[in-house]
């Protein structure tokens, strides 16, 4: 079969979830791909990840869902707690109810397992070339194509370049000069525990979400249910790059001194914590310039309060590949089409994530009112509120 877009491959900078998903999406539509990754394609984050049905539906479109489900976990519900009293406020059904409603499952898994599944599928596609230890440090555009240059003198040539290089994208400046992420005034911490050691209610097959003044805690099973992933987010901290720094356990625990005993006991079980700063980025005036377009966190980073960062990148991958296919590989037509498909959606999720973050961290009378409203709502009613997020398909292609 002749590759789409002529003989030149599509270049992708970044071998994370977004970059790997894009490579698969393009390959399935007949494009040749060269994927440039600054590391050895190793996912070292050690973090868990939640994939809502919008994300798993997109993975099914890519033919990758079966490859990751063996390592994933299907939680039965989300339990919402008040962190000060320890009281369970509400239950939102997941499991079969989500799959029946949205046509795709809600999964939790280790980020490395998702990355490994996507990488393995890329390695099985003859039309995808993987180049490791290739950090894009320069770009040269010509009438006939584009060249990505690495610090060690290597280069790669293609018809276009997709920037899937994350929050601190080096390619973002090509489309939006001067656009830089800003510290959101919040810090996230993560840890991993053997689930067999977790007492009730942490051994339950659910996502637990504890809401407290200025902080919240979420936990859920990963590795097929063998481990329990913990993520705590607190207001404050200092801005820093990277998300794999060793955290000061005592500093973390000090933020939860007023919490009820059950969540405090869980936090105390974890001996080692990793910490990272949360950042936000104002919507970019455009995602594309010339032969370059952006994808995922490079284009629209989202705060983690709706667990949608990876999902948006996977959706982007499907939409971009569909746009290039529909436009016969002509990036001048495809890039604006892709951006038109995705911009409103991405900005809606960004805004909603910020709103949920404020809701999670309410204190004083506002906290009590939030709790009262949650207690009065039935679980299915809570799920209805996510139809806008989980029931979309047409906006990805």
* Range in 222-226, 243-247, 269-273, 370-374 the model is least confident about: 243-247
Q: Name the pLDDT band for 5 (thresholds 50, 70, 90).
A: low
Dihedral of CA 383/386/388/391: which sign?
negative
Domain membership of residue 261 (yes or no) is: no
Q: How far is Cα 176 from Cα 152, in angstroms, rounded to an integer?
A: 26
Count of structural domains, the chain:
1
Bridge partners (DSSP) listed for residue 73: 108
pLDDT (tens digit per residue) in 91-137: 999 999 999 999 999 999 999 999 999 999 999 999 999 999 999 99
Domain membership of residue 190 (yes or no) is: no
Give the pLDDT confidence score for residue 241 in this predicted structure.
77
Mean pLDDT throughout 170-196? 95
What is the percentage of the chain residues whose pLDDT exceeds 70?
96
Q: Which two tokens stand for residue 78?
A: 């989300």
Secondary structure percentages of the chain, helix, strand, coil, to 5 = 40, 25, 35
Q: Name the pLDDT band for 46 (thresholds 50, 70, 90).
A: low
Q: How far is CA 45 from the centre of its chain?
A: 13
Q: For 52, list phi and psi in degrees, rounded to 5.
A: -70, 170
**CATH number for the domain harbouring residue 342:** 3.50.50.60
Domain membership of residue 233 (yes or no) is: no
Domain membership of residue 171 (yes or no) is: yes
* Range in 89-93, 153-157, 165-169, 242-246 the model is least confident about: 242-246
Domain membership of residue 20 (yes or no) is: yes
Domain membership of residue 42 (yes or no) is: yes
Give the pLDDT confidence score for residue 143 in this predicted structure.
87
With 0-12 / 13-18 / 19 or more C-beta atoms within 10 angstroms meaning exposed / middle / buried, residue 97 is: middle
Q: How far is Cα 325 from Cα 310, in angstroms, rounded to an integer?
A: 23
Q: Name the pLDDT band for 2 (thresholds 50, 70, 90).
A: very low
pLDDT (tens digit per residue) in 20-43: 999 999 999 999 999 999 988 776
Residue 316, SS3 per DSSP: helix
CB of 158 closer than 8 Å to CB of 146: yes
Mean pLDDT throughout 366-395? 87
Closest CA to 143 of 162, 161, 159: 159
Beta strands 107-110; 227-235: pairing state: unpaired
Q: How far is Cα 239 from Cα 230, in angstroms, rounded to an integer?
A: 21
Range of the domain at 363: 10-180+281-396
Cα→Cα distances 127→24, 101, 124, 143, 208, Å: 9, 36, 9, 24, 42
106: annotated active-site residue: no
Give the pLDDT confidence score for residue 201 in this predicted structure.
81
Q: Name the pLDDT band for 395 (thresholds 50, 70, 90).
A: very low
Bridge partners (DSSP) listed for residue 193: 228
* Range in 4-8, 70-74, 196-200 the model is least confident about: 4-8
CB of 73 closer than 8 Å to CB of 224: yes
Give the pLDDT confidence score for residue 41 in this predicted structure.
77
Domain membership of residue 268 (yes or no) is: no
Closest CA to 135 of 120, 156, 119: 156
Query: In sequence order, which ranges of the chain are alpha helices (DSSP H)?
Result: 17-28, 53-62, 65-69, 95-102, 111-124, 172-175, 249-253, 261-269, 309-326, 331-360, 364-376, 379-384, 387-390
Asked whether residue 172 carries a pLDDT value surpassing 70, the answer given is: yes
Round the average pLDDT of the chain to a whole number and report it.
93
Bridge partners (DSSP) listed for residue 217: 210, 232
Which of 102, 220, 338, 360 is catalytic? The answer is: 220
Mean pLDDT throughout 310-339? 98
Domain membership of residue 189 (yes or no) is: no
């Amino acid at each position: 079969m002749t590759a789409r877009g002529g003989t030149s491959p599509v270049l992708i900078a970044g071998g994370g979830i977004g970059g790997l998903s894009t490579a698969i999406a393009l390959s399935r539509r007949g494009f040749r791909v060269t994927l440039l990754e600054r590391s050895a394609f190793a996912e070292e984050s050690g973090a868990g990840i939640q994939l809502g049905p919008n994300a798993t539906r997109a993975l099914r479109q890519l033919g990758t869902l079966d490859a990751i489900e063996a390592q994933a976990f299907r939680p039965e519900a989300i339990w919402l707690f008040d962190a000060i009293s320890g009281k369970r406020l509400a239950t939102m059904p997941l499991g079969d109810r989500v799959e029946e409603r949205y046509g795709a499952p809600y999964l939790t898994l280790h980020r490395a397992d998702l990355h490994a599944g996507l990488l393995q599928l890329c390695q099985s596609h003859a039309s995808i070339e993987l180049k490791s230890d290739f950090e894009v440090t320069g770009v040269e555009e010509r009438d006939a194509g584009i060249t990505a240059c690495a610090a060690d003198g290597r280069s790669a040539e293609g018809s276009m370049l997709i920037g899937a290089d994350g929050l601190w994208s080096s390619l973002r400046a090509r489309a939006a000069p001067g656009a830089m992420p800003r510290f959101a005034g919040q810090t996230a911490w993560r840890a991993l525990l053997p689930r067999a050691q977790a007492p009730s209610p942490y051994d339950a097959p659910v996502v637990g979400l504890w809401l407290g003044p200025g902080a919240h805690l979420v936990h859920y099973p990963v590795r097929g249910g063998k481990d329990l992933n913990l993520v705590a987010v607190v207001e404050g901290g200092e801005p820093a790059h990277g998300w794999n720094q060793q955290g000061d356990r005592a500093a973390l625990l000090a933020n939860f001194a007023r919490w009820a005993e059950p969540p405090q006991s869980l936090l105390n079980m974890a001996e080692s914590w990793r910490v990272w700063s949360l950042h936000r980025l104002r919507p970019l005036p455009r995602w594309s310039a010339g032969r370059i377009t952006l994808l995922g966190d490079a284009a629209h980073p989202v705060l983690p309060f709706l667990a949608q960062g990876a999902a948006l990148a996977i959706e982007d991958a499907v939409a971009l590949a569909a746009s290039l296919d529909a436009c016969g590989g002509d990036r001048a037509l495809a890039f604006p089409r892709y951006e038109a498909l995705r911009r409103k959606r991405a900005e809606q999720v960004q805004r909603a994530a910020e709103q949920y973050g404020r809701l999670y961290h309410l204190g004083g009378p506002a906290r009590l009112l939030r709790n009262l409203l949650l207690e009065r709502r039935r679980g299915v009613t809570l799920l209805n509120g996510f139809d806008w997020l989980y029931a979309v398909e047409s906006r990805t292609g």
